[in-house]
Structures are given as C-alpha cells and as structure tokens.
Structure 1
C-alpha cells in the first residue's frame, strides 16, 4: 500500500511542491502537525492538491494554508488508509526524516565523542577540549570547524605547537616554520593561527582577545614575537654588559644623559642590565610623566613602558631583578594602572614595590573622570593585598587618579632615593 501511495504522489507536481514543505514542518515540530503556506503555488499544482482533498483550487487559495493533520485525516479516507504520514514522507524522499531536536542531540553526541577521542589522542590539548565542552560563546566558531571537518585536519599541527611552546623569545614565522614547515601556518588570518590564539588565551586564563595589540601581548606572554623591533622599552641611566664589557651605546647614553628606546632584539644581545646607582630602578608607563621626571632628576634610573608591559619591558625587568635590583612602580590610579601594578607585584613578589599608589596619593591625583562600570569591573581581578585599600576607595569614588597630579612628589622621591644610594 505504501508503494502504491508513493507512486501516486510522485506522479503529481503539486505534491512535489507540497511535500518538501511538509518535511520542513515535521522536522521543525518533531511530529505531524502545523500548517504550510500555499499562496505562491501554481494553478496546476493547486488543482492536483485540491483534487486529492475533494475540493477546488479556489477554496484552497481562500484558506491559504494546508494543515498536516487535515492531510493525515484525508489520507486515511482514501485507498491508502493505514499509511503513516511520517513513513510516507520518508519513503518519498528515500531517507529518514529527523526532527531538529533529534538532529541537534545527534550532532551534540557526535561532537562529545570527537572531543573525548581527541582528548586521548592530543593530550597537550586536553585542557582546551574540556573548555570547549562548556560551549561558551567564544567556542561557537570552533564547533563550525569541527562540523566541516577542518578542526580534525588542523589538530596535529596545533598539538605540536602547544607541545613545543618556546622557553626563549622566537619570532612567529620562525616558530611556525619550526612546528609546521610553513612560516605562515599561524598567521592571524588563517584558521590554524586563530585556533592557536584561542588555545593560548584559554591556557592563560585571559578573556577573549580583541584587536591586534591584545593578540601581540598574548603571544609575547608565551615568548612568541610578532615583532621584535617596535616591541621596545625606554630607559635612562641604565648600563648593559656584553660579555665582560659595558655596551658602548648604553654607556654613551648615560654619559650624555640621553634616553634609549631599546628594542627586544637588542635586549636579547646583552648579558646583564643594571642602574648607574646601585639597587633601585623606578618605572612609569606614561611617557609625558617620564620625560618630566627626567627634566627634574636627570640622573634617575628610570624605565618607561609606554602603556601595558610589552615583552621588551618584561625582559628588561627580569634582567634587573637578576641583578638584585628593587623595582618601584608608579602608574595612574585607575583600573588599568592598578591592574599593571598587580601584575608586576605578582611577577616580582620580592623585588617590586608600589610607588605613590596609596590612598593619600589617590586623593591628591583625583580627577573628575568618572569611571564606567566596564572599567570598574577590571578591579575585581586585582588580588594583591597592598592594592586593596586604594581599590576600595576607588570603588566608592569611581573617579580616576592621574600621575600628572603627583609629579612634584614623584620627583622628590627620586631625589631622596638617589641621595640614599650615594
């Protein structure tokens, strides 16, 4: 009987138009039900459908819709009585009709099996597969790669990259060549590059990376360099050794009281860095404040990071700490400056100290700049106890404090610090 029904409906152009709509509705609902629109059907198609219902095309057009349950009832009144509508449609299309819910569940199960299988196959990525299971919004694009098979193809080279993350700075194209044989494999516009960035972001515990600058900083935190020339740091009154000798360029800068902008490339060529006056180096991130302090205290060993810590600044500070130097950091007393201070204290717990970032300094530097909730939220990630008092005050006042209001005090601190060292 099913074969007879299929032969009948396959011979009618109206049902060749109607049944795909029925199928779509059944997939959506997961059952036989609902209705489909027929207002754009051709006259010949409507006439064939109307004949099945024992009606006219004018009546069908007046109703504008055909209800699937009405079709099911009418089918039971014909010589095809007993034929199930779901079975009829599956036979018509010669494939199983799966509801969207069932399809989604099957797809989800397939993805879970793949992640579990890959977790054993690529152990260095196990933490990332666990993260993908949470299906946060930043993973949706990864699941699209999984669905089209692209992810499976890229996992071997991604796994090799994570297993061989460098312990010393290396340029991104060189790292790509070393891992994959292709210097462009991990370019940011390639799927492999995007996946590596996502994995490193998850590994670091940082929020989603936005923009080229954040991507550069993330790679640098794993010693992968997109650029070792513009990745630099400003120094004054510091000396560097090459082997057993003082680097002549650094010496000349000290002799002439000049500021050096040192690229990461050049930092990697020196064996040690130290201040001209033993024991202390002061750090600011604002170039205007930095220049003003040097005007006031030309002999001060000062570093300027010019914004967030780049790898060049971190490497320089690592070398200073290796030389037994204490680092004094002063930043704007706002969420960004406090977060930088928190990072520095965490990185150098025995060698870094806050410089004019207390409550009194905050009140003296206070501006009318009201801080929005998005910026204030950054303070929730700061954990160092030395910063908590000023954070509580910031949360109450919701205004930023800027170093420009502390210049005279900062300069006096430098004079006193240099005097103590003499």
Structure 2
C-alpha cells in the first residue's frame, strides 16, 4: 500500500466513534480465523464512521456481515486491502488466531518428539538401552508432547539424550551401584544435570517407572520414596553416604568387624563402608535374620544381648523396601554362604518385600514367621484396613497367605510377633535350630532342625 493511502486509512480507522466496532471486528477475526458472522452498528456516529471507511450506510441497531466489510475494503475502496490488514494496521500487531496457534503448537510438538526419536540411533547406546528407552518413549508420547510445550524443543531433546546415555551406563545386576552425580556428569556434562527439578531428572524417573513397573507400584507416585526406589531398582544411588542398612552381630575376620562383635554394637553401614568391608562380612553360623521394621530390630537386639557377644546372631533391618545398601550387604552375605530368613509386615508392602528377597536369593532365602498362623497371631495387635486388590502382586509368591489376609481385609504388623521372633533367636543360639527353610518339605514345622 502506498504510504499516502496508508496514512489516509489510519486516519479513518482512528475515528473514535469507530473504536468499539473495530474491537468487535478484531474479536470476530481472532475467533473465526476468517471474515465470518455479523456485527451490530450501535449509533449514528458509528454508522457515519463506517460509511466513511467502506462507503455503505447501516442503520443504527442493525447488523452488517463481517465478510461484507472485508469485500468492500478489497473491491470498493481506494485502499484495496483486506479487513485483516486494516485491523492489523490499526492495532500495530498481527491478529492472534487460536486455531492457527493451536495447529502451530501441535506441529511444533510433533516435530520435537520426532527429533527425539531420530536422535536415539545416533547415540551409540547398547541394544538393551535403546530398546528400553524407545519403548518408554512410544508408550509416553502424549507426555513427551506436553514436555515439548512446557520445556521447549531443545530442553526435551537434551533430556532424552541424557536418559538414553544414562540407561546405557546402568550397572548390570549384582554390579556396584553408580552414583547420581557421577552419572549426571557423564551424561549431561554437569554433576547437577539429573537433580530434581531438571527436565532430565523428570524424564529419567518416568523412564525408570516404565522399566520397573512393580517397583513403581509400591509407593505413592511422585513421592520421595517412589523416586528413591526407582533409582535403587536401576542401581543408581544418590551418594555413597545417605543410603544405609542397619546391622547387628555381623561376623568377619577384620579388626573392625571383630570389635563390633566383641562390643555387641549395632551399626548402620553405608554404601561407602560396604565398598570397603563388604568382601569381609559374614553371618554368624552362616545365618542372617532380616526384618523390615526398626522397632522389631531394636527389640531383637535387646533380647539377644542376654547372650555373650560371641553368640550374637546376625540381625539386619531393611527399614522398608530394599535399598542399594541392603542389597549390597545381603549380596555379600549370600556370596559368603549365608542363608537369609526374612520377616516383615502382613500387608501389601511387607509381602512384596519378602517376595523380592526370595526372588533375588533363590535357595538362599526363606520367609521368617510369615505363615497364616503367624498372621493370625499378629492380628492380636491393631492392623490397618486393606484396599481391594492391594495384595494381587504378593499373591503370586504367597497365594494362601494373601488370600487369608484379603479375606479378613486387615493388615497385621510384625511387631505383634516379637515374642515368637525372640523365641526363634534363642533356639538358634542355644540349640543351633533355624526356622524352616524354603527348601524344606511342605508342612514342615517351625521346629525343623538345620545344623549350620
């Protein structure tokens, strides 16, 4: 448009009586994306101003089609411009069109996700890592699209790169853990690149939840325990110090372990400590009694201190779900020939932890006081109500027990079995008798004798 015509058009559009009508036209174009619908002429002054603009008089109180205004501007005025162009000239900015903006956002998101898929084959990760990450990405495409909008294309791409490289570096089962800061430095170039609040952290946790669905189901999604368990399942520790396992009565030939036994001291072992002494630890008489709850561990320690330190049994507490320190210590004991007896709560989490221990150490781990009779005894104390279906996963390992608990609809706590647990420990110390092992014939009583 010639500058003189542009100036004349602006003068007409700046007529104060035309302002409400121009707002209505702007809203109509933004809403519909094209000249569509009708607008009302409210006053004679507005009608006069419109007539000056398009050469058509409209009676106040009547309406005129938006397309009619557009066609007159194009064909019957000296300006030969569209209504869009006139409105944008008047406002000094493009007309926002929600439909077009939405289509553009969708296209941008699709392009960002496509780039993430195209990136994976270029990273040189292992076949296993590639399969896990690409499987998660396919399953979580809707979330990735939302991530592209929330974080932007580049942040999403960098996050996917970090996740794929992290999966490539995950330790094999039984191998030493990797530490989160070291892993972050390797895959992002920044020791804090996988910290909470970073896109790469959120993506890594979601990928782990997809890879370890049963671990993800054990805690409330998004909670600190949920994230910690997922990292642990993948062999990732936050650091060498904060993860611990509580112990009493460990055996071994090093001065430190001998001194612990001699003094009868309970001791939390961190991953850092286990890295130093894990190869030296043993269970007394090659038997370790493992419990879920610290209250139970304290009661058992108090009981066995009546015996001389040389006869202290090995006691371990996982404090709930097995963390990497728990696994490192139990792995070391089993590798040195120990048999584990695990006892926990009679609820979904307790049975699932027991099932995990039995699955991780086949032939080297047995339930401890986790029969239906034990559950009924533990019910003498108050237990919490169970949600329907809470025991479905545990029923695969403990079908009869899970059915009994589900039928009663009530959980029971291990604390209710402390008298029975202490009797078992006394029998083990004084007579060398252990609880039944998983390899015993069906129906074998608690009094089965196993001489270490």
- The CA deviation at 1:217 is 2.9
CA contact (8 A) 1:332 1:401 kept: yes
Q: In the alignment, is residue 358 of structure 1 matched against residue 358 of structure 2? A: no
Does the Cα contact within 8 Å between 2:113 and 2:148 map onto a contact in 1?
no
* TM-score for the superposition, normalised by structure 2: 0.73
Relative to the length of structure 1, the TM-score reads 0.77
In the alignment, does 2:408 pair up with 1:404?
no
1:267 CA displacement? 0.5
Q: Indicate the SS of the match to 1:183.
A: coil
Question: Does residue 274 in structure 1 map to residue 282 in structure 2?
Answer: yes
Matched, 1:284 2:295: no
Closer/same/farther in 2, CA of residues 288 and 25 from structure 1, 3 Å limit: same
Match of 1:236 in 2: 248
Task: Identify the range of structure 1 (165-174 vs 353-362) with the bigger mean alpha-carbon deviation.
Answer: 165-174
Residues 223 and 99 of structure 1: CA distance in aligned 2, closer, same or farther (over 3 Å): same
**TM-superposed deviation, 1:185:** 1.6
1:12 deviates by 2.1
Q: Quote the offset at 1:75 in angstroms.
A: 3.9
Looking at structure 2, the residues matched to 282 and 239 of structure 1 have their Cα atoms a distance apart, in angstroms, of 13
Aligned pairs (5 A) from 1:127-276:
127-133=135-141, 135=142, 141-145=146-150, 147-167=152-172, 168-205=176-213, 206=216, 209-240=221-252, 246-270=253-277, 271-276=279-284
Aligned with 2:321 (options 291, 295, 308): 308
Q: What is the rounded CA distance, in whole Å, between the counterparts of 2:44 and 2:393 in structure 1? A: 67
Kept in 1: contact 2:384–2:412 (CA 8 A): no
Change (3 A) 1:73 1:177: closer
**Partner residue in 2 for 1:63:** none
Equivalenced residue count is: 391
Note the C-alpha offset of 1:259.
Answer: 1.2
Q: Deviations over 1:64-112 (max 9, x none)?
A: xxx8xx52475499686899xxx74478559998975676566445544
Partner of 2:28: 22
Per the TM alignment, residue 370 of structure 1 is displaced from its structure 2 partner at its CA by 3.9
What are the equivalent positions in structure 2 for 1:383-402 lying under 5 Å apart?
Answer: 384-385=396-397, 387-402=398-413
Q: RMSD in angstroms over aligned alpha carbons?
A: 4.0
Change (3 A) 1:295 1:77: closer
Q: Is the 8 A contact 2:358 2:365 kept in 1?
A: yes
Cα distance in structure 1, aligned partners of 2:57 and 2:140:
51
SS of 2:193's partner is coil
Between 1:144-153 and 1:409-418, the stretch displaced more is: 144-153
Q: CA deviation at 1:407?
A: 1.4
